Amino acid sequence: MEISYHWGGGHFFYDTQSVSHGQDTTTVLGKHIASDKAKAKWIKKFPKINGIENMSHTVCRFKIYCSKNVYRILALAMYSSEGEVICSTGVGVARQYRNIVPDSIFALLVRAILK
């Protein structure tokens, strides 16, 4: 399902079938289809990743701690426009939790999956 939000352009979707609720946590799979502006941000941030100039989209698994209003990225994969994996990281990519900022993509995601 698409969430209308334009982080540097592009589109963000989450997989409704991937939503898993725990006691105080929710995990979900998200996909960001990058615009040219978003691609430029990724290229600037990660210039040493081989093939990043062909980046098309990213797929991430997020873990959200509902009562604390924080999230972290559990896994991330970056894909080329041909569908090939450019790079990927395993469980616990972001070890630190980040606050969910009001009106951010994560705030919209939480609102959508916790309806």
pLDDT tens readout for residues 35-69: 888 888 888 988 899 999 999 999 999 999 988 99
Find the mean pLDDT for residues 85-114.
Answer: 82
CATH class of domain segment(s) 2-113:
mainly beta
Q: What is the pLDDT of residue 100?
A: 92
Q: What is the pLDDT of residue 110?
A: 86
pLDDT over 70 (residue 94): no
Question: Residue 8 has which token pair?
Answer: 């540097």
Q: What are phi and psi of 67, to 5 degrees?
A: -70, -25
Residue 10 CB contacts under 8 Å (≥ 6 apart), including other chains: 32, 33, 34, 35, 37, 38, 57
Map out the domains of the chain as residue ranges: 2-113
- The phi-psi region of residue 68 (left if phi > 0; otherwise alpha if psi is between -120 and 50; otherwise beta) is alpha
Q: What is the sign of the dihedral through the CA atoms of 110, 17, 75 and 22?
A: positive
pTM comes to 0.80
